[in-house]
Amino acid sequence: MIILKIKHFLFVGLFCFGFFALTFLNPYPFGYDSFYYLNVVCNSAPFVVGELPLTVALFSLLPCNMVVIKVLLFCCCLSACLSASLLGEHFVKDKGWLAGVFVFASFLWLQQFWAFENEAFAFALLFPAAWLFYSGGYGKKAIAVFLSILACGFWLGSSLMLAVFALSNIFSAIPLGFIVGFYLKAIIDQLAPTQSLQETAPGFGLFYQGLLFVSLMFWRILPALFVPITFFSLLAFVNMRFACFASFFLAILAAKQASYAKTRMLRALPYVGVAIVAMFFVGMFAVLPPTFHEVEAVQLAVAEADGNTVCNQWGFGHMVEFFGGVASDKGGGQQLCVSCENCVMLVYECPEHCVQLNDGDVNLTVSVCRC
């Protein structure tokens, strides 16, 4: 049995590495926000006000080496996947270990760990904590609480795992209810989606779970995880930013589905979901941000600006700074620089009075303009 478990873990590890091997086709981590942390690590840029202590400590020590960074992100993902396998094996004896594979049926899972952001390091602690809490006695539960508190030093969203732990026990759920009532307005403000930020859009957190969403039909066959599955599924619906929590617990439910669903089609759906996501990311990897064309456009804009401010689309701000430029906007979802005179613009479409500098590319996704 131990040998089989080792084989299962090796399979999950190799499966996870197969997805991460794709990231080495792009010299930079996934997503525009990754460049904020790359600026901190590589250019000694200051942290934003209010950055959490463990995030500051870790990112201050990391080397400016893309291979090291991507290996660290792989280790974070592997920690989460193996935790899903371990918890799945606790509840589903024959195919529970496949939960570590079924997490990849969510379109959001890989994106969470491909991006060089603080959340990845928090999840590397939170999901082992979930395995310990829901599979062990009081000793393991204490370690789980400690790991979750530690994860709060990377990302305050980690406190949601502590909330679920409390809700899973009637004695802690009652005082938690009083605390929630006292801070209700502040909690709603933190969890509510932000209109200008796509990553917090309501509804999509469940839609992007892919075929894992179907597993919700089988919540009754895994009553021990009713609280985290229900809580995080509702939260994923409200705010897509927290959907990765739901992916973890839905994958364990999917392992149960693959073992005990009545029809062959329903038992096969988790496998089909993983195959769909794999084909999607292999087929679409070249157009996931930052693309080579976007990097070239940012570099061109910085060179053309020659030390002056680049009037950029807000999402490219951290990239502009990473490549040595001065950005007009650096995030927040609101476009501040919509036009300018005698300047360089980095936008999706050049204004009529400006000259486009990077024309002739059929795959063009962003334009560099001189106005």
* Secondary structure in 3-state letters for 192-234: CCCCCCHHHCCCHHHHCCHHHHHHHHHHHHCHHHHHHHHHHHH
Please provide the average confidence, as pLDDT, over all residues in the chain: 86
pLDDT digits (tens, 9 = 90+) for 84-112: 999 999 999 888 999 999 999 999 999 99
Angle between helices 53-61 and 34-43 (to 10 degrees): 60
Question: Binning pLDDT at 50, 70 and 90, where does residue 3 land?
Answer: very low
pLDDT of residue 175: 63
Overall pTM surpassing 0.85 (yes/no): yes
Buried b (16+ CB within 10 A) or exposed e, 352-361: eebebbbeee
| pLDDT top residue among 100 and 156 | 100
Q: Which residues pair with 115 in a beta bridge?
A: 30
* Ordered strands of the 355-356 beta sheet: 326-327, 309-312, 344-347, 367-370, 355-356
Report helix, strand or coil for 20.
Answer: helix
pLDDT of residue 250: 95
Does residue 8 have a pLDDT over 60? yes
pLDDT of residue 192: 59
Question: What are the residue ranges spanned by the domains of the chain?
Answer: 2-287, 292-370
Does residue 351 have a pLDDT over 90? no
pLDDT digits (tens, 9 = 90+) for 214-258: 888 887 788 889 999 999 999 888 888 889 999 999 999 999 999
Q: Which residues pair with 346 in a beta bridge?
A: 312, 368
pLDDT digits (tens, 9 = 90+) for 164-216: 998 888 766 666 565 555 554 555 555 656 555 555 566 677 888 888 988 88
Question: Binning pLDDT at 50, 70 and 90, where does residue 1 land?
Answer: very low
pLDDT digits (tens, 9 = 90+) for 309-344: 998 887 899 999 999 999 988 865 556 676 777 889
Percent of the chain at pLDDT > 90 equals 53
